[in-house]
Amino acid sequence: MEIIPNVHLVPNTVANPYLLIDPDGLTLIDAGLPGSHRKILRYLASLGFAPVDLKRILITHADFDHVGGLAPLKKASGARVYASPVEARAIAEGHASRPLKPRSVVARLLFDLMARSFNPATVQVDELLSDGQILPVLGGLRVVETPGHTPGHISLFAPSAQILFCGDSIVSGEAGLRVSSGANNWNQAKSDESARKQAALGARILCSGHGPVVMDAAGKFPQV
């Protein structure tokens, strides 16, 4: 689904992967659940691209619904993989970058079951990202450190299109935008601080890891 020219959401995956098109090739932000690589490669093909056209895969954080398709995508495309140092270590070791905090025995059993069912293959990250770094994507894609949901979570901001890819730091839902919170949130104070930093960027379009894309995001960021 085209969001704006050269920016697409790969539809019908559990966590949203975004595809960015530049003259020198394609960049993917996040890789979906294990198995999502098939949908992502089919979507590329529907736009007339081959797997080898995918040059970069940027990972916002190491949760299984964002890195599940990473290993087969890297294998099929030869793309270089980018993440923050903290998330890169977790991706290389095949687990999340922070412990979950289930509030009940049932929730703990559910988390354990999910971890076993969706355990993604390990991947060696090629390039480590840091705050303020500019990637040669969409005329300059800025890395914004947004810790809170996980310790090494990053967002990506393209000033040319005023579009912010926020991973799971801000969740888009029926009731609007909310800051990451609850059992899978690493540090609430950091999440709130990151949300304030994101609101100040002046993004016009917000692309979250879950829920619908928000086209008129200015003024809708969570007040924390």
170: phi then psi, degrees, rounded to nearest 5: -125, 130
Chain centroid offset of residue 22 CA: 19
Report if residue 87 touches Zn ion, rule: CB under 5 A. no
**Alpha carbon distance, N-terminus to C-terminus of the chain:** 31
For Zn ion, give the closer residue by CB, 87 or 168.
168
User: SS3 of 127, please?
Assistant: strand
The CA-based diameter of the chain, rounded to the nearest angstrom, is 51
Stretch that binds Zn ion, among 73-81, 113-121, 161-169, 212-220 (CB under 5 A): 161-169
At closest approach, how far in Å is the CB of 191 from Zn ion?
11
Instruction: Please state, in angstroms and rounded to a whole number, the distance separating the CA atoms of residues 72 and 121.
Output: 9
Site for Zn ion (CB under 5 A): which residue of 56, 74, 168, 172?
Answer: 168
For Zn ion, give the closer residue by CB, 133 or 181.
181
Take residue 110 and report the two structure tokens written for it. Answer: 């559910």
For Zn ion, give the closer residue by CB, 26 or 87.
87
Nearest to 137 by CA among 58, 52, 84: 58
Stretch that binds Zn ion, among 59-67, 73-81, 190-198, 213-221 (CB under 5 A): 59-67
Report if residue 63 touches Zn ion, rule: CB under 5 A. yes
For Zn ion, give the closer residue by CB, 68 or 72.
68
User: SS3 of 83, please?
Assistant: strand
Instruction: Please state, in angstroms and rounded to a whole number, the distance separating the CA atoms of residues 205 and 34.
Output: 27
At closest approach, how far in Å is the CB of 118 from Zn ion?
12
At closest approach, how far in Å is the CB of 149 from Zn ion?
6
Q: Are 158 and 134 in contact (CB under 8 A)?
A: no
Stretch that binds Zn ion, among 25-33, 135-143, 156-164, 168-176 (CB under 5 A): 168-176
For Zn ion, give the closer residue by CB, 46 or 119.
119
Query: For binding to Zn ion (CB under 5 A), which residues are involved?
Result: 63, 168
